[in-house]
Amino acid sequence: MSKLDDITDRASKLAGQLGDGLKGALPDNAMKWIETGAALGAMRTGTRVATRFVKRNPAVAVAAVAGAGLIWFAARRHARQQAQAPIEGQSRKIEAKRGTARRSR
């Protein structure tokens, strides 16, 4: 093993121990705030990357939006047709018979 691998491994172990220590030391409410902050940070980073991608490749972005719109339209149309479709089942014909009922006067 080289010294670089050894240092990287040791740093990884220390970071893990530090994270475990923080999880045990912080109350549950604080962990929720940290998780929320991490989620917001990831969302900001994702937004920044997406914006940069759209600026560099506008044609691909337009095609992706058009494709998503077509998929949404097809799914909506399919759901509407399923709602109007007849209910599947079995039926049988019942013959009408003339009864012997009395006529009222």
- Spatial separation of the C-alpha atoms in residues 65 and 90, rounded to whole Å: 44
Torsion from C-alpha of 97, 98, 102, 104, nearest 10 degrees: 100
Contact 31, 23 (CB under 8 A): yes
**Rounded CA Rg of the chain:** 33
- pTM of the entire predicted model: 0.41
Question: Residues 57-70, buried b or exposed e (16+ Cβ, 10 A)?
Answer: eeeeeeeeeeeeee
Interacting residues of 34 by C-beta distance below 8 A, sequence separation 6+: 26
Q: What per-residue confidence (pLDDT) applies to 25?
A: 64
Q: List per-residue pLDDT tens for the chain, 105 residues long.
A: 566 667 777 777 777 776 766 666 666 676 677 778 888 888 899 999 989 988 999 898 899 999 999 999 999 999 998 888 777 778 788 888 877 766 666
Q: Is the four-CA dihedral 30, 32, 33, 35 of positive or negative sign?
A: positive
